[in-house]
Amino acid sequence: MNLPVLNLESLQLYAILDLGYVKPDNVEKMSRALLDGGADVLQLRAKGFPPAEVERFARLMLPLTRDAGVPLVINDHPAVAAAVSSEGVHVGQDDFTIAETRTIVGESCFVGKSTHSVAQARAALAEGADYIGFGPLYATGTKPDYIPVGLGDIATVNRLAAVPVFCIGGINQARLPEIIAAGAHRVVVVSAFLLADDVAREVRQLKAALGEMKTGRGLQAH
């Protein structure tokens, strides 16, 4: 099915299919598991793979995400996002600017940006990012060179942002209470999902816990 009119504000649980954890032959299987569990958005991250391979993975995933009504985000490769007409693209601090990215993907593709400090968050918001990633909150094998930013600035960044803020980096169900208590409204999960014995169940349980914690604190998506 086609996606309904996309409301980024409604997305709370962001899953990343990272080829650092997932074998290329398992891209479809893992995509199905993440979607079956209830991920609200799914990103393809394929560091070190040539663009043609990234596009091949994206084309395997796109029918599954479309059928689930979930936006597909391509990490680092605006040209691939444009080629496959994905709903979103994500860029880092050392990648294209938001404006440069939009010239490649067009206005119908939303653009997110990674940020690792309050200053970077302010800059990404000023650039016009449709959403920002903020982290890593904890040390993570996905980005071992990044110093964890901790939980102290989550509330500040959320107050600054008129667009969704997705906290990322070492997030799992055990850490979720302190992350939500620190002011997070949305989270990105990578290894806790991809390394789970039952991926769909892990996604389902964390999503349920996220909803319960937000409801318990009277938090509304903003």
The phi-psi region of residue 48 (left if phi > 0; otherwise alpha if psi is between -120 and 50; otherwise beta) is left
Q: Which residue has the tokens 């954890």?
A: 21
Q: What is the mean pLDDT of residues 155-175?
A: 97
Q: What is the mean pLDDT of residues 89-100?
A: 95
pLDDT tens for 133-149 read 999 999 887 777 778 99
Question: Is 108 an active-site residue?
Answer: no
Confidence at residue 35, expressed as pLDDT on a 0 to 100 scale: 98
DSSP percent split of the chain into helix, strand, coil, nearest 5 = 45, 15, 40
- Does the pLDDT value for residue 12 go beyond 90? yes
Task: Out of 31, 86, 114, 207, pick the active-site residue.
Answer: 114
- H/E stretch holding 131: strand 131-134
pLDDT tens for 40-76 read 999 999 999 999 999 999 999 999 999 999 999 999 9
Confidence at residue 6, expressed as pLDDT on a 0 to 100 scale: 79
Task: Out of 45, 113, 186, 207, pick the active-site residue.
Answer: 45
Question: Is 186 an active-site residue?
Answer: no
Q: What is the mean pLDDT of residues 72-83?
A: 98
> How many Å apart are CA 110 and CA 98, to the nearest integer?
10
Q: What's the pTM value of the predicted model, to 2 decimals? A: 0.94
C-alpha distance from residue 164 to each of 8, 55, 173, 188, 191 (Å): 7, 27, 21, 12, 22
The DSSP output letter for 9 is G
Task: Tell which wins on pLDDT, 215 or 148.
Answer: 148
Confidence at residue 66, expressed as pLDDT on a 0 to 100 scale: 97
Domains and CATH numbers, the chain: 11-214 (3.20.20.70)
Confidence at residue 4, expressed as pLDDT on a 0 to 100 scale: 54
HSE-CB for 190 with a 13 A CA cutoff: 24
Confidence at residue 1, expressed as pLDDT on a 0 to 100 scale: 44
- Token pair of 171 as six digits: 């997030």
Task: Out of 102, 143, 186, 207, pick the active-site residue.
Answer: 143
- Does the pLDDT value for residue 79 go beyond 70? yes
Confidence of residue 37 (pLDDT cuts 50, 70, 90): very high
* Nearest Cα residue to 167 out of 180, 86, 159, 25: 180
Confidence of residue 189 (pLDDT cuts 50, 70, 90): very high
Question: Is 143 an active-site residue?
Answer: yes
Q: What is the mean pLDDT of residues 11-40?
A: 98
Contact 109, 5 (CB under 8 A): no
- H/E stretch holding 172: none
